[in-house]
Amino acid sequence: MKKRLTDSLTLFFDPLFPKCFANPSRHRALIGVGGNIGNVKRRFKKVALLLRSHPKVRLIATAPLLKNPPFGYTDQPFFYNTLFLVDTDLPPKALLHFLLRLERRFKRVRTFKNAPRTLDLDIIFYDDVKLNSSELTIPHPHWHQRESVIIPLTFLGEMRRCGL
């Protein structure tokens, strides 16, 4: 099912997006997920299924997929974005390195800022941690300016049955 929000914003729903999986028991992190190269929806499902059973980073909930226009470099296809709420025993920087390895596994290549990509994984929030280093900033510095975070986040906020 899909729901058109505006001429340039569309939400997609299927059995895996949105979904509540389990109650968190360790640290909670909100991961922004994006991509616009290849079969992005299938790739997101593969990443979600991988995280369902991973011992270090476990998927708790997903938001619906949002199709939205690119920003920055705009001469590229629309993006699909969602949010994954995970629990983890990894500290923030170790989680970042885990996510970067996952991006590489799904053929992410960094060519220039805001370039088209197969998979983009960003830590939006990690518990109530505030961190500002050259490697990682938490909360993500631009989360509140991005429809790709704000719109899916409203759906996660409605998922009270997950204990969120």
* Number of domains making up the chain: 1
Cα dist from 12 to 3, 5, 27, 80, whole Å: 6, 11, 28, 9
Q: What is the pLDDT along the chain (164 residues), one digit of tens a residue?
A: 889 999 999 999 988 888 877 655 689 999 999 999 999 999 999 999 999 988 899 999 999 999 999 988 888 999 999 999 999 999 999 999 999 999 999 787 777 777 788 899 999 999 999 999 999 999 999 898 899 999 999 988 766 555 55
The pLDDT of residue 116 is 86
* Rounded Cα–Cα distance for residues 14 and 160 (Å): 19
The pLDDT of residue 33 is 97
| Residue 26 exposed, middle or buried by CB count within 10 Å (0-12, 13-18, 19+) | middle
* Rounded Cα–Cα distance for residues 146 and 97 (Å): 23
pTM of the model: 0.84
Task: Give the CATH number for residue 24.
Answer: 3.30.70.560
Q: In this structure, are residues 27 and 88 in contact, taking their beta carbons and an 8 Å threshold?
A: yes
Range of the domain at 92: 2-162
